[in-house]
């Protein structure tokens, strides 16, 4: 007997909601059953574009829709918590866009609620489920390159300055760290675990959010991670994992790689490739389906405790680079005052 389709609800109708809907619609055994927006007109337009049967003019309406198994929360980061809470309260599983929340405290609250209600919740850190990123994790765990000594990863883009855009607006959770820095951090985490030391420096945009951030993490093993995120220029979007017996070069973009090279000391480089489906978001949708069908309330590949721990490190990076105060962290770099000149590298 074939299993019933997984019925998705899409919450928020912006850029990534469309891309994710397109990927879900490629998958057998998945359907987009409903959409929720702040306005009925936007919900209806989205529903028409993607052939979605039900359009709700409020997030609460979608949360209460019993014809939905799992809600994908695709609002700006500061607006993740409240709609996700509504869904969990209604017993609806949630896949919440990255970063899960804007800080560890909110993530802890949402995770506690989901656990109390026995409801599935996961951060939509889609990179985790890419076949080659999973392979990096397995190769490292299997000792293919010895002990990891360093990870380098960068995600910096050229984003035209617009004080009202979510990337630049503090009210909409702007800044490179929350939007892009979460990728190199989440890539590094399964390879090295929690860092023993955190150093960071950031340049602010005129709006005060971080425009260019460098991160140096130290580990008890002696390993380091050197990470960069920014909004002021296109970086290579590469990642390299260095070990005592070789290294893995993940092709750009490391958050959606289609190839990587394993260089074992003294051996010939081995190139591994993968045909990436759609926009690259099908893998996380399939992981959600797998977990729900298995009765899991968390994904072992992206567990809530790891989401929380990464956000705790993000809080610390923000504090140490003078972006915002965080509990228990003492800023080491004085805050640079924003100027009205537009973003610049100083
Ligand atoms: N996984 C990825 O590759 C990826 C890529 C891009 C973004 N993201 C994440 O997805 C989230 C949304 O990003 P996006 O680029 O899709 O943003 P976006 O295009 O600005 O869309 C966000 C949507 O959220 C809703 N919303 C609720 N409150 C809002 C408010 N106060 N201001 C503006 N919109 C509001 C709106 O939908 P309604 O009007 O329908 O309510 C809006 O269309 C962010 O957390 C981001 O980090 C992930």
Strands 93-97 and 246-250: unpaired
Specify the 3-state DSSP secondary structure of 87.
Answer: helix
Q: Where are the domains of the chain?
A: 6-124, 128-275+302-320
- Asked whether residue 341 carries a pLDDT value surpassing 90, the answer given is no
Judge if the beta carbon of residue 79 lies within 6 A of ligand 1: yes
Residue at token pair 């039900």: 54
Whether 292 has a pLDDT exceeding 80, the answer reads yes
The label of the residue with tokens 């949402």 reads: 110
Nearest ligand 1 atom, CA 13: 40
Q: pLDDT value at position 44?
A: 98
User: DSSP for 262-312?
Assistant: EEETTS--EEEE----TTS-HHHHHHHHHHHHTT-SSBTTB-HHHHHHHHH
Alpha-carbon separation of residue 248 from 135, 140, 261 (angstroms)? 10, 9, 6
- pTM listed for this prediction: 0.94
- CA-CA distance, 13 to 195, in Å (whole number)? 36
How many A from CA of 172 to the centre of ligand 1? 9
Catalytic residues: 98
Q: What is the pLDDT of residue 325?
A: 55
Q: Which tens digit of pLDDT belongs to each residue from 188-199?
A: 999 999 999 999
Number of other CB atoms surrounding residue 3 within 10 Å: 8
Q: What pLDDT is attached to residue 1?
A: 60
**pLDDT digits over 113-125, tens only?**
999 999 999 999 9
* 128-275+302-320 to CATH, choices 3.30.360.10, 3.30.9.10, 3.20.20.70, 3.40.47.10: 3.30.360.10
Report the alpha-carbon distance of residue 268 to residue 259 in Å, rounded.
Answer: 16
Q: Name the strand (E) or helix (H) holding 316.
A: helix 304-320
Across 284-311, average pLDDT = 98
For the segment(s) 6-124, the CATH number from 1.10.357.10, 1.10.3720.10, 3.30.450.40, 3.40.50.720 is 3.40.50.720
Find the mean pLDDT for residues 150-155.
Answer: 98
Two domains, one topology: 6-124 and 128-275+302-320: no
Nearest of 243, 64, 230 to residue 149 by alpha carbon = 243
Q: Is the pLDDT of residue 57 over 90?
A: yes
Instruction: Give residue 247's pLDDT band: very low, low, confident or very high (50, 70, 90).
Output: very high
Q: Does the beta carbon of 13 sit less than 6 angstroms from any atom of ligand 1?
A: yes
């Amino acid at each position: 007997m074939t299993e019933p389709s997984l019925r998705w609800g899409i919450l928020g109708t912006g850029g990534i909601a469309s891309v994710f809907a397109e990927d879900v619609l490629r998958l057998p055994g998945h359907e987009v059953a409903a959409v929720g927006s702040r306005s009925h007109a936007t919900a209806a337009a989205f529903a028409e574009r993607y052939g979605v049967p039900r359009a709700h003019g409020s997030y609460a309406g979608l949360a209460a829709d019993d014809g939905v198994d799992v809600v994908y929360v695709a609002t700006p980061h500061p607006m993740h918590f409240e709609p996700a809470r509504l869904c969990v309260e209604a017993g609806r599983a949630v896949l919440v866009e990255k970063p899960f929340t804007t800080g560890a405290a909110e993530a802890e609250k949402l995770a506690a609620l989901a656990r109390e209600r026995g409801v599935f919740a996961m951060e939509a850190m889609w990179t985790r489920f890419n076949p080659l990123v999973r392979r990096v994790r397995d190769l490292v765990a299997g000792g293919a390159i010895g002990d990891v000594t360093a990870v380098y990863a960068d995600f910096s883009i050229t984003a035209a300055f617009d004080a009202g855009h979510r990337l630049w607006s503090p009210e909409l959770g702007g800044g490179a760290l929350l939007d892009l820095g979460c990728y190199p951090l989440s890539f590094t985490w399964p390879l090295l675990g929690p860092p023993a030391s955190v150093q960071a420096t950031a340049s602010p945009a005129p709006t005060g959010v971080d425009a260019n951030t460098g991160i140096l993490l130290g580990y008890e093993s002696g390993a380091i991670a050197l990470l960069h995120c920014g909004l002021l220029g296109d970086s290579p979007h590469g990642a390299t994992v260095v070990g005592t017996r070789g290294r893995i070069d993940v092709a750009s973009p490391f958050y959606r790689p289609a190839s990587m090279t394993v260089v074992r000391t003294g051996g010939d480089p081995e190139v591994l490739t993968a045909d990436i489906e759609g926009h690259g978001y099908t893998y996380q949708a399939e992981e959600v389906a797998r977990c729900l069908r298995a009765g899991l309330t968390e994904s072992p590949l992206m567990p809530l405790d790891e989401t929380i721990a990464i956000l705790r490190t993000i809080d610390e990076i923000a504090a140490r680079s003078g972006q915002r105060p965080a509990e228990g962290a003492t800023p080491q770099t004085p805050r640079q005052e924003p100027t009205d000149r537009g973003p610049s590298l100083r």
